[in-house]
Chains A and B, each alone.
Chain A
């Protein structure tokens, strides 16, 4: 199993540009989520999905869109990049979020995004 994969590893955008961060998992996990990590701020939840076709907002959803058309993929779209979105983005997946399965989440290696 490849686990959770993220592409690209690094990206530089200009203000106003749009892009999609890709995330895929091959563990048949129902639950997927996106976090951003900023210095001194820990891991903050952007959006999450409890299954294909179902998404919900996390703590910091503004400026980001998600969709979940398949179990495997959970892309994160930046509609109009801003310098405040400079961060490291992590995708994570798990079997579920509390229906009797493990709460343990598996994280991808991250995407380092810089917006100039």
Chain B
């Protein structure tokens, strides 16, 4: 059973607009959530994270929102740039257990 779900396999956004990537999880024991970005032929790279004690974390153009009651998190990218085109993975963890990844969402930012 998938514990971390990214229900949108792909998303297209115009340059300069907001990109919103969504992620749902089923395990209420998860206490830390991360977003990774992956370009073709490269390994995933860490983008931003959030602890379950927070509901928002911001880093430049990237903001992650966590809604614990809905078991939902989202990544906002504002403004979107062509270089943001990549696959984005949501991941979740709880203490002493490995990260669990979603299947990823391919973001295409169109100039």
Chain A residues close to B by CB (< 8 Å): 4, 33, 35, 40-45, 48, 58, 90, 92, 97-99, 103-110
Question: Known interface pairs A103-B32, A107-B44. Does A48 touch B101 (Cβ–Cβ under 8 Å)?
Answer: no
Q: Is the interface of B mostly helix, strand, loop or mixed?
A: loop
Q: How far is the CB of B104 from chain A (nearest CB, A)?
A: 5
Other CB < 8 Å A-B pairs besides A44-B101, A107-B43, 13 of them? A33-B98, A40-B103, A41-B103, A43-B101, A90-B43, A97-B98, A98-B94, A103-B49, A103-B93, A103-B99, A104-B34, A105-B46, A110-B43
Within 8 A of A (CB), among B88-102: 89, 93-102
Query: Cβ of B99 and Cβ of A109 under 8 Å apart?
Result: no
**Bound-complex Cα distance A106 to B46 (A):** 7
Contact of B99 among A4, A105, A108 (CB under 8 A): A105
Query: Cβ of B98 and Cβ of A45 under 8 Å apart?
Result: yes
Question: Known interface pairs A48-B98, A97-B96, A98-B94. Does A104 touch B46 (Cβ–Cβ under 8 Å)?
Answer: yes
Q: How far is the CB of A8 from chain B (nearest CB, A)?
A: 14
| Chain A residue at minimum C-beta to C-beta distance from B32 | A103
Within 8 A of A (CB), among B33-68: 34, 36, 41-46, 49
| Chain A residue at minimum C-beta to C-beta distance from B94 | A98
**Bound-complex Cα distance A35 to B103 (A):** 13
